[in-house]
Structure 1
Amino acid sequence: MWITVENTLTQGPLFYWFAQCVIIIESMIVTYALVMRNIQQTNDRLQTHFQRSAKLKLKKQYNQTLKRIDNELRTPLSGVVGIAELLLDTSLNKTQRDQIVTMRRSGEALLKWLNRLNDWRSLQIGRLNFDNIPFDFSHLLNTLCEDSKVKAEDRKIQLQYTPNPNTPTLIKGDPARIKQIISGTLDMALYYSEQGNVEVNLKASAQRNCWRLEIRDCQSGLHMEDIDLTLSNEAEIEAGTLSSVQRNWAIAQALAEHIGGSLNVTINDNGEALFICELILTRYSLLQHHENHYDKLLKDKRLLIVDDSSSSRKLLAKRAESWGMKVTCVPNGQDALDMINTMSKIGGVFDCIILDHDMPGLTGLEVAKTIADSHSAVDTPTMIMLSGANNPPSQDQASNAAIKRVLSKPITAKSLKITLAEELTLHQVRQRERKESTVALL
């Protein structure tokens, strides 16, 4: 029976006050329960907010640390690899050449680790930037296979690669990412190979500009659960259960998809594994010339190199001087602006400027913007920026500063030479077209 005012009045005053006390106590209990529920919900929200804030702070610290590592390591490692390439072009005896090759491989191995570390984080947050520069794919593939042969010999595995005579030599794309895709696949094949033979073959696909790289291991210990990986499985990533080889394989798969290719593997009952990597390799045709022709395009062109790293300045200067360019080097942005003003006063101009992105004082973007603002569109020199893989400027930032190309360190000598020749040629064409349009208007 429900307690009501009418019922309590008919039972007498004592029962009435007793009923009122019960009602008050019930109200207090309900109120207490509601308050405790609100307190618990508030605590849950605060705990969730705290955990989210701590996680975001940790990710921010991780990204800042990664950026600092990239800045501190990429430039000296690029210098080591670049100097090794310069030495390999000189006359060396067999012992010296082997030592220089070992130095180059060691430097490239560290750069490969640094690139994978950057790409691992970039793929997770969906922020990837790709280069689009000319490079020698045939040389890249040969070098990767030669380096993998050293790893294979240590494990008593025979790696065989027969070059395809129709392999495209000069293509346009991102050499660092293509190198990661192929090396990640080779590492996966060698890691699970059980002292067998690994064959590498490159074949043309039916699709235009599509090439199929096949890596066949006749005696593999690979299982499907070893390759069923995705970068979206954040719990597995955070737990750190993936081996470095598995992580590199996952990165290679994701990068292949981002550049329009694919990376798959099939395993048959006999223990044979077949890795199939399909890549879109667009042939570079704008300046498809002999090596000597690029030297003619660059001969006597004035180049200003702006980089706070002395090793980078020396390396770039040696390369450019070997192509017949007249090179001036400065260590910071203010010296670069002063040098341009001095050159202007004596009636000279720089045809091309190579800027480092991350410099103390004036950054590369600030220097480029100042140069662009002080020149007309016709007279602005061709500006190319070198940047780390983890912190390149956006396309809008580069465009607003009149920067024609943003290239990731390290860049090979041939890619840099062709890029300079291409941009200088295009600059001359644009100058001629503007002058012709001005004359037509008059």
Structure 2
Amino acid sequence: MRQIKTWVQLYVDWITRIGIIRFSLLLAFCIISIAVVIQGTITLLLRGVVDVVDLVRSVFFGLLVTPWAAYFLTAVIDELEDSRRRLTDMVHKLQIMRERDQALNQRLQSNISQLNNQIEETRRAEAARLRVLSELEAEAIQREKAQKELEEQSALLRSFLDSSPDLVFYRNEREEFLSCNRALETLLGRSRDDIIGRTPYGVYEPQMAEQIISRDREVFEKNQPITYELWFPYPDGRRACFEMRQVPFFAAHGERLGLVGFGRDITEHKQYQDELEKASRDKTTFISTISHELRTPLNGVVGLSHILLDTPLNDLQRQYLNTIHLSAVTLGNIFNDIIDLDKIERRKLKIARSKIDLRQLLADLQTLSSLMVEAKGLYLHFDIDGDVPHWIMADGTRLRQILWNVLSNAVKFTAEGGITFGVQVSPSEENKVYLRFDIEDTGIGIPEHEQQNIFAMYYQVPGTKRAVGTGIGLAITKQLVETMGGSIHVDSELGHGSCFTIELEATVLPDSQNDEAEAMLAQELPPLRILLVEDIALNITVATAMLNKLGHQVDAAMTGREALAKFQPERYDLVLLDIQLPDMTGFDIADELRQRYPEKLPPLVALTANLINDPSQYQQHGMQAVIGKPLALGNLRKTLNELFVGCALPSESEVVVEAPNKYVLDLPFLEDFTGVVGCDVMVSAIDLFAQSMPEYLKILNSALTARDKQGIVEEAHKIKSAAGAIGLKRIHQLAQQAQSPDLPAWQENINDWIDSICAEYQGDLECLRQWVQQQRTETQTAQ
């Protein structure tokens, strides 16, 4: 079928190419030819002969058929051509329609895509709208829930604030109250609505309002919290002390809105504090009184036994009298320990330096300790190595107390053998020497793990309960030694005795002064007329006996009024004043005499058993010297020589001195440190320590109040590290003790250690600043 279509197409193409006439002629020829061939073939087959007539007939048949064939074929061709043209047109049109359909289809697809996009966008927008609506709905629910929670929290906060006994209030920068709790309403006797919007002038008394406003301004100026105490009156007339804490508060973007105030009723605390202070004063008064009362009979025992020892006695009587004298001296040293314990507790322990005869001090100590060891059948060996200076500047009372405590302990714990007392002297700086005292015994010894514990307050080595004591002697000795700028340590082996080593530095007076002082003391005093003001008959007897033995005349007065009535400037060369009298104090008598006779007054000397007072207090009342009770003949003779032969009293700056830099500061470390990094870096480190210390102490004290041992240890460790980093030796050592809860009697001593840190660190810091400034000045001078 496809082949026929091809031939037909070729036929049509051929006719179109040669034309219709040529096609007709060619068709006629073809038909005639075909007719002749067919006629001839048929005739030949039928008759066997082909005639011309047959050929002519075939020609005429062809000629007759040709027009009709040509017409038919032409018509067919025309129809076919027309059909083809129409078909072509239709195909063209179809092509155009197809292209248009394709364009429409494309546009339709584009529109469909756009529509789909619009539908998708609409769907998304709808989904987003639904999501936004959902979020808004959730947010609304959340907001409603948050609002409800906020209202609940506000109600809870309001309930909490109203239930708090502490005052809570808010004020803006115009000093107007924004809100307050029920405690403030109760305190002021006003409702909250009546308080809000008012300034302090509208709710407090004018004077109190002015004080509060000044505190508010301080908060706003410094932008820092402040704490202060204020007494508030209640509407019923009661007054209560409140610890007020006011802090600035800010908005989220940093704008200051005003201040928040808190007030805690500390009335009971103040009362308790007052009771503690009163108890402390009562205890001091008690110690002063009991010291005075006990030293009065002790004065008689020591003085009279000392006088009797210079009289003819048999051996037994001398032995008994030595024992009495030794016991009285020992009791006096116990009094000194008790008084020093009170001073340590009140941070009043001072060192009073004066000129002392070191050789005489050691001789007296040897005499007394000889009496003590003889009673137990022990030997005593004094070994002095080096040239012991004669006159030094030191606190003779403290030095004697230190050595006596260690010596008496050595005798106490030694049953067989004896005591060796060694003294080594080595030069230090100009006019200074190092004194080393070694007190070695053959007693019971101390276990190695207990050797540092024995210096703790109230501590006694387990297993020594048969020994009499309270556990304060060595603790006080260590405090005294360190306050004098020295050190003490022990070397011992259980069962083989102990050796206590004490190292101190002392200033040696120049030889010219020593020779002059010795010459002056060697001079014989002229007989003096002395007025003795003393209310105890026994003390009068002892003092009179001693003074008479020295060749002086004594008049006694037992009250202040009697002394003022008896006294005449030209009648007496010296006035000895007891401090505690029935009707007035020795200070009152001294002040009255100075007022009456400002130019003719003889020397005034205080006689007292109360050694708690600062020695400078006596000088403020015009007293040239102080003699402690019980009276010792050596002290009495020395004071009289100083006053009447020409030995000058030390100046006030020499009388009372604080602990030296050697104990306060770690000088070797500081010298190395400043030598490497310079003084400027050291000053920066000091400033940083000064800024950090208040916060350290605040946390440390809060941990102490809460009895939080771990908190105490952690904060004390920080202080120890910080103090050690800038060479504050004393603070470093105190913090080291505070951070070591395994130390014996740690619980009993931790309050004292922390109090010492709080009380001493600023003074030590100032001492360090002065040392750095001195180093800087020396460096600049050297350059």
Cα deviation, residue 251, structure 1: 0.9
Name 2:296's counterpart in structure 1.
Answer: 75
Name 1:363's counterpart in structure 2.
Answer: 585
Q: Evaluate the alpha carbon distance shift between residue 174 and residue 182 of structure 1 in structure 2; reply closer, same or farther with a 3 A threshold.
A: same
Select 2:450's aligned residue among 226, 236, 248: 226
Q: Evaluate the alpha carbon distance shift between residue 50 and residue 7 of structure 1 in structure 2; reply closer, same or farther with a 3 A threshold.
A: farther
Cα deviation, residue 65, structure 1: 2.1
Q: Evaluate the alpha carbon distance shift between residue 85 and residue 195 of structure 1 in structure 2; reply closer, same or farther with a 3 A threshold.
A: closer
Q: Evaluate the alpha carbon distance shift between residue 143 and residue 205 of structure 1 in structure 2; reply closer, same or farther with a 3 A threshold.
A: same
Cα deviation, residue 108, structure 1: 1.8
Cα deviation, residue 413, structure 1: 0.6
- Three-state SS of the structure 1 residue aligned to 2:472 is helix
Matches of 1:258 and 1:20, distance apart in 2: 66
Cα-to-partner distance string for 1:44-90 (whole Å, 9 max, x where unaligned): 96776566555444433322322221121112211211111011111
What are the within-5 Å matches in structure 2 for residues 140-179 of structure 1?
A: 140-150=364-374, 152-153=376-377, 158-162=378-382, 164=384, 173-179=394-400
Select 2:424's aligned residue among 203, 213, 235: 203
Q: TM-score, normalised by structure 2?
A: 0.45
Are 1:96 and 2:317 matched, yes or no? Answer: yes
Cα deviation, residue 340, structure 1: 2.0
Of 382-391 and 53-62, more deviation after overlay is shown by 53-62
Matches of 2:494 and 2:332, distance apart in 1: 38
Matches of 1:171 and 1:360, distance apart in 2: 39
Matches of 2:498 and 2:146, distance apart in 1: 82
Name 1:122's counterpart in structure 2.
Answer: 343
For the Cα contact (< 8 Å) 1:138–1:168, is it kept in 2? no
Of 122-131 and 406-415, more deviation after overlay is shown by 122-131
Of 260-269 and 361-370, more deviation after overlay is shown by 260-269
Cα-to-partner distance string for 1:241-262 (whole Å, 9 max, x where unaligned): 5574642111112212333443
Cα deviation, residue 228, structure 1: 2.6
Cα deviation, residue 212, structure 1: 2.0
Matches of 1:406 and 1:217, distance apart in 2: 36
- Three-state SS of the structure 1 residue aligned to 2:613 is coil
For the Cα contact (< 8 Å) 1:137–1:171, is it kept in 2? no
For the Cα contact (< 8 Å) 2:326–2:368, is it kept in 1? no
Are 1:61 and 2:282 matched, yes or no? Answer: yes
Select 1:318's aligned residue among 511, 520, 545: 545
Name 1:399's counterpart in structure 2.
Answer: 619
For the Cα contact (< 8 Å) 2:454–2:460, is it kept in 1? no
Select 1:330's aligned residue among 527, 535, 557: 557
Cα deviation, residue 410, structure 1: 2.1
Q: Evaluate the alpha carbon distance shift between residue 159 and residue 167 of structure 1 in structure 2; reply closer, same or farther with a 3 A threshold.
A: farther
Cα-to-partner distance string for 1:220-247 (whole Å, 9 max, x where unaligned): 531355343598xxxx75xx55574642
Are 1:262 and 2:389 matched, yes or no? Answer: no
For the Cα contact (< 8 Å) 1:302–1:325, is it kept in 2? yes
Matches of 1:261 and 1:21, distance apart in 2: 71
Name 2:326's counterpart in structure 1.
Answer: 105
Matches of 2:316 and 2:604, distance apart in 1: 41
Are 1:417 and 2:647 matched, yes or no? Answer: no
Q: Evaluate the alpha carbon distance shift between residue 50 and residue 77 of structure 1 in structure 2; reply closer, same or farther with a 3 A threshold.
A: same
Q: TM-score, normalised by structure 1?
A: 0.76
- Three-state SS of the structure 1 residue aligned to 2:645 is helix
For the Cα contact (< 8 Å) 1:77–1:111, is it kept in 2? yes
Cα deviation, residue 140, structure 1: 2.0
Unpaired stretches in structure 2, ≥5 consecutive residues:
1-135, 168-261, 462-468, 650-783
Cα deviation, residue 423, structure 1: 0.7
Cα deviation, residue 100, structure 1: 1.4
Cα deviation, residue 150, structure 1: 4.5
Matches of 2:265 and 2:550, distance apart in 1: 66
Cα deviation, residue 121, structure 1: 1.4
Unpaired stretches in structure 1, ≥5 consecutive residues:
1-5, 430-442
Larger Rg over CA atoms: 2
Note the aligned Cα RMSD (angstroms). 3.9
**Quick one: which amino acid aligns to residue 310 of structure 2?**
D
Matches of 1:194 and 1:79, distance apart in 2: 32
What are the within-5 Å matches in structure 2 for residues 224-373 of structure 1?
A: 224-228=448-452, 240-241=458-459, 244=469, 246-267=471-492, 273-279=498-504, 280=506, 282=508, 285-289=515-519, 293-294=522-523, 296-297=524-525, 299-341=526-568, 348-373=570-595
For the Cα contact (< 8 Å) 2:641–2:647, is it kept in 1? no
Matches of 2:382 and 2:292, distance apart in 1: 38
Matches of 1:392 and 1:384, distance apart in 2: 15
- Three-state SS of the structure 2 residue aligned to 1:350 is coil
**Quick one: which amino acid aligns to residue 329 of structure 1?**
A
For the Cα contact (< 8 Å) 1:77–1:107, is it kept in 2? yes
- Three-state SS of the structure 2 residue aligned to 1:324 is coil
Cα-to-partner distance string for 1:9-61 (whole Å, 9 max, x where unaligned): x99xxxx9x99988755533332334456659988967765665554444333
Q: Percent identity?
A: 22
Q: Evaluate the alpha carbon distance shift between residue 290 and residue 50 of structure 1 in structure 2; reply closer, same or farther with a 3 A threshold.
A: closer
For the Cα contact (< 8 Å) 1:138–1:167, is it kept in 2? no
Q: Evaluate the alpha carbon distance shift between residue 227 and residue 355 of structure 1 in structure 2; reply closer, same or farther with a 3 A threshold.
A: farther
Cα-to-partner distance string for 1:362-415 (whole Å, 9 max, x where unaligned): 3211211222223344x32111111224443651x4334321112221231122
- Three-state SS of the structure 2 residue aligned to 1:288 is helix
Matches of 1:217 and 1:31, distance apart in 2: 73
Are 1:212 and 2:212 matched, yes or no? Answer: no
Q: Evaluate the alpha carbon distance shift between residue 54 and residue 349 of structure 1 in structure 2; reply closer, same or farther with a 3 A threshold.
A: closer
- Three-state SS of the structure 1 residue aligned to 2:554 is strand
Cα-to-partner distance string for 1:126-151 (whole Å, 9 max, x where unaligned): 21353736452133221342144156
Matches of 2:353 and 2:297, distance apart in 1: 21
Cα deviation, residue 318, structure 1: 1.6
For the Cα contact (< 8 Å) 1:184–1:252, is it kept in 2? yes
For the Cα contact (< 8 Å) 2:533–2:558, is it kept in 1? yes
Select 1:139's aligned residue among 363, 371, 382: 363
Matches of 1:19 and 1:402, distance apart in 2: 78
Q: Evaluate the alpha carbon distance shift between residue 36 and residue 411 of structure 1 in structure 2; reply closer, same or farther with a 3 A threshold.
A: same
**Quick one: which amino acid aligns to residue 33 of structure 1?**
F
Of 125-134 and 403-412, more deviation after overlay is shown by 125-134
Name 1:32's counterpart in structure 2.
Answer: 159
Cα-to-partner distance string for 1:79-135 (whole Å, 9 max, x where unaligned): 211111011111111122122112212222222211110011112322135373645
Matches of 1:172 and 1:428, distance apart in 2: 13
Aligned length: 398
RCO higher in structure (CA 8 A, sep ≥6): 1
For the Cα contact (< 8 Å) 1:382–1:424, is it kept in 2? no
